[in-house]
Structure 1
Amino acid sequence: MNSPTKPPRPQWSWRSRAGRGVIYQAIALVLIGLSVWFLAFNTQENMRIRGIQSGFDFLGASAGFDIGETIIDYDPSETYGKAIWVGVLNTLQVAVIGIILTTILGVLLGVGRFSRNGLVRGICYGYVELFRNVPILLQMLMWYLFFVEVLPAPGDAWNVADLFYLSKDGFSFPRPTQGTGYMVMLAGLVAGVALSWVWRRWALKEFEKTGQLRNPGWPTLGIIAGCTFLGWLAGGMPTEWSIPEAGRFMIEGGGSVSPEFMAVLISLTFYTASFVAEVVRGGIQSVSLGQKEASAALGLAPRQTMNLVVLPQAMRVIIPPLTNQYLNLTKNSSLAVAVGYPDVVSISYTTLNQSGRAVECIAIIMLVYLTTSLSTSLFMNWYNDRMAIKER
């Protein structure tokens, strides 16, 4: 019996393609490093000659300016670093919520393009052509003017059941008062979502083994609702809610979001969803017609065919361009400065004007968007690997 042959060892010499590749890469890295060092040294030397201060020590100085919308507590007497962190959180808030809403709306529009109802197809087509052909900055300004000019004053706010109010001050809604009980309830909700995902994975595997399809809808909702209810019980059954009340000049109580936040979120969602819809449509069209015909021959309803046969195969085509749209949404959030939303760009510009540290503030903005974009890409690449066809 012949012993298996060992793979040849690479020859690290100039005549070897692998050896030349390593040498070229090393030279490229050295040149890039020297270029970065030259630019940094030249910039610092020019700033020193002109008497311009440099460094990140200004982040510990008092900011001295207020921020209209914050997720965490902030006071003008706190540092520039804290102010910029508030801007980072505001940017992440818009980006994360926007990505979630964009995914939901874009998938519905993309699937709706294949509806048997001509009216639904027409509405989806009209939406895509309208919102993807109007610049996002123009949409952002349009929504902002709608909220601050068209909507009524807080005293005459539009409301639903005296619980939800929409006015020039923004959107107000009931919110639970902060407390341990609601945090436990939230933990139960998160656990319910995780368990429902595990159950759906198990149900899909059983379907592949036995061909018996379990209805995923009601069990999923039941698991989430049950875990949330158990969390509410474990948290002491809290019932305290802060309800908004319309006053003469403002709406007091409850939770609220500003017109600036709503203008940014809606414009980002509507604009990016039009591109996501086209990505989904292209992915669905990439699945051969024979797959749909085979599903119909097995007795699957059109909805089951879409959920169990078409979309799982289309996801392998959808995910790469979908990642690009998520990145575009995150980077387009920098346009929020046009309507006065205090994102990281707006707060960094204010910091730049007060401290004079232009290079440092621009570097912080670049680092924030580079980090968020790379994080999104890493997560989507991981998800893409999970959805890829596994070779035997």
Structure 2
Amino acid sequence: MTDQTAGRAPAIPFWRDPTIRSLIIQAVLLVVVLGTGWILFKTATDNMAKQGIASGFAFLDRHAGFDISMSMIDYPQNASYGRALLVGLVNTLLVSAIGIVVATVIGFLVGIARLSSNWLVAQMATVYVETLRNTPLLLQILFWYFAVLRSLPGIRQSVELLPGVLINNRGLYVPRIEQLPGFDAIWIAGLVALVAAFAIGRWARARQLRTGQPFPSFWVGLGLVVGLPLLAGLAMGVPLNLSPPEIPGPGQGFNIVGGFVLLPELVALVVALSLYTASFIAEVVRGGILSVSRGQTEAAQALGLTRGQTMRLVVVPQAMRVVVPPLTSQYLNLVKNSSLATAIAYPDLVQVFAGTVLNQTGQAVEVIAVTMAIYLSLSLIISAAMNWYNARIKLVER
């Protein structure tokens, strides 16, 4: 008996097992968190009941009774609070989408410019980054709204930036596209072109990995996306009409006739968010480029590639593996920072739902919970998309 047990380790009590102990601690913490949440929820609902405020989400079907200055979807006079929530969400998505695209483009250009061999370009990029990155975003939003856009001339003194594009203190006016019968063919052609471009990109990537021969999938895809809808439109007899904005003449009123207006609140918010976030993206891009071995650049130049080709074909693709994770954080910050729109009365999710709807209904718990859930969902969606892209471009171990 002694010989059989001599080589065995002594039994460890279960409460000293690190795995079991960790599970017990996590279970206790979960119970504490859930219990605290339940106590807070019960206290809030009891206080609401004492004040005669009904809990639940039935208020979303009630008549809103207030106007919204900008709506990308239909918002009738008898709209409900639920419809107001949807309008605010769409406005938030609009600002976030435009801001992400513009900030990415500017950030990459400025990040590359900071590494330019031209002293003046590099210093201008440095001044841009250090100035905007160290200035409060709210102050930048107020600057663009009050100091720039609100100081523009009135409607009758509108400035024509381009033919059919006017700007004044009421906003930016662009031609309105009016769809005529047969316009659906353009949408269908565009969808088909996107699917074809995606398929060609995957085929070209697989072909290059298999044979080493490149294929201009980007330019072919771009030609399809642009050319196929254009051909469909020409085949259908150009089924659209442009309605440019026109300055009213004497005795014709005080509002611009025709066109589509981008409110100064929208323009100020997009510009401020884009420029501010781009200053951080520029540093992310610069760090990613510097992480690429200089030997890669020297090898590319030895093969006869120009500086632009080396940056586009060799350096940036390798830097993206370093750039994407912090770039995701900047996208998330931009979406969350869009809530500062309430400072200039842009009708986003916070201003419409967590502001006006909350003040009218008093459903504080439900309104704040829905608002937080929406921002959480948007963040998770962006993170999932960027993680998927990061997984696509990571190095594969062989």
Q: TM-score, normalised by structure 1?
A: 0.89
Question: Is 2:283 the counterpart of 1:278?
Answer: yes
Aligned to 1:322: 327
Question: Is 2:173 the counterpart of 1:195?
Answer: no
Letter in 2 for 1:387: I
Q: For structure 1, which segment, 220-229 or 355-364, has the greater mean C-alpha deviation from structure 2 after superposition?
A: 220-229
Aligned to 2:372: 366
Aligned to 1:57: 58
Residues in 2 aligned to 1:126 and 1:199: alpha-carbon distance in whole angstroms = 41
Question: Is 2:12 the counterpart of 1:28?
Answer: no
Does the residue aligned with 1:77 lie in a helix, a strand or coil?
A: coil
| Deviations 1:203-261 (CA, angstroms, capped at 9, x unpaired) | 45555555555556654442232222233246553142222111152211122210010
Question: Is 2:318 the counterpart of 1:313?
Answer: yes
Deviation of 1:263 (Å): 0.6
Q: How does 1:134-213 map to 2 (within 5 A)?
A: 134-160=135-161, 162-179=163-180, 181-203=182-204, 206-207=207-208
Residues in 2 aligned to 1:196 and 1:118: alpha-carbon distance in whole angstroms = 40
Aligned to 1:353: 359
Does the residue aligned with 2:310 lie in a helix, a strand or coil?
A: helix
Deviation of 1:78 (Å): 1.3
Letter in 2 for 1:291: Q
Deviation of 1:181 (Å): 3.4
Does the residue aligned with 2:183 lie in a helix, a strand or coil?
A: helix
Residues in 2 aligned to 1:300 and 1:331: alpha-carbon distance in whole angstroms = 41
Q: How does 1:9-20 map to 2 (within 5 A)?
A: 16-20=17-21
Deviation of 1:148 (Å): 4.4
Cα contact 1:147–1:167 (8 A) shared by 2: no
Unaligned 5+ segments in structure 2 are 1-11
Residues in 1 aligned to 2:362 and 2:273: alpha-carbon distance in whole angstroms = 31
Distance 1:300 1:208, change over 3 A: farther
The alignment yields a C-alpha RMSD, in angstroms, of 2.4
Residues in 1 aligned to 2:18 and 2:157: alpha-carbon distance in whole angstroms = 75
Letter in 2 for 1:357: Q
| Deviations 1:290-345 (CA, angstroms, capped at 9, x unpaired) | 11111112222222211221111111111111111001100110000111100111
Residues in 1 aligned to 2:95 and 2:13: alpha-carbon distance in whole angstroms = 50
Of structures 1 and 2, the larger Rg is shown by 2
Identity value in percent: 45
Question: Is 2:261 the counterpart of 1:260?
Answer: no
Does the residue aligned with 2:150 lie in a helix, a strand or coil?
A: helix
Distance 1:91 1:297, change over 3 A: same
Letter in 1 for 2:335: T
Cα contact 2:111–2:285 (8 A) shared by 1: yes
Aligned to 2:7: none
Does the residue aligned with 2:79 lie in a helix, a strand or coil?
A: coil
Aligned to 1:4: none
Letter in 2 for 1:301: T
**Which 4+ residue blocks in structure 1 deviate beyond 6 angstroms?**
none
Aligned to 2:74: 73
Deviation of 1:185 (Å): 1.7
Distance 1:53 1:114, change over 3 A: same
| Deviations 1:55-104 (CA, angstroms, capped at 9, x unpaired) | 22211111110001000111232111111110111011101111111111
Q: TM-score, normalised by structure 2?
A: 0.88
Count of aligned pairs between the two proteins: 382
Unaligned 5+ segments in structure 1 are 1-10
Deviation of 1:390 (Å): 1.7
Question: Is 2:243 the counterpart of 1:242?
Answer: yes
Cα contact 1:147–1:170 (8 A) shared by 2: no
Q: For structure 1, which segment, 217-226 or 116-125, has the greater mean C-alpha deviation from structure 2 after superposition?
A: 217-226
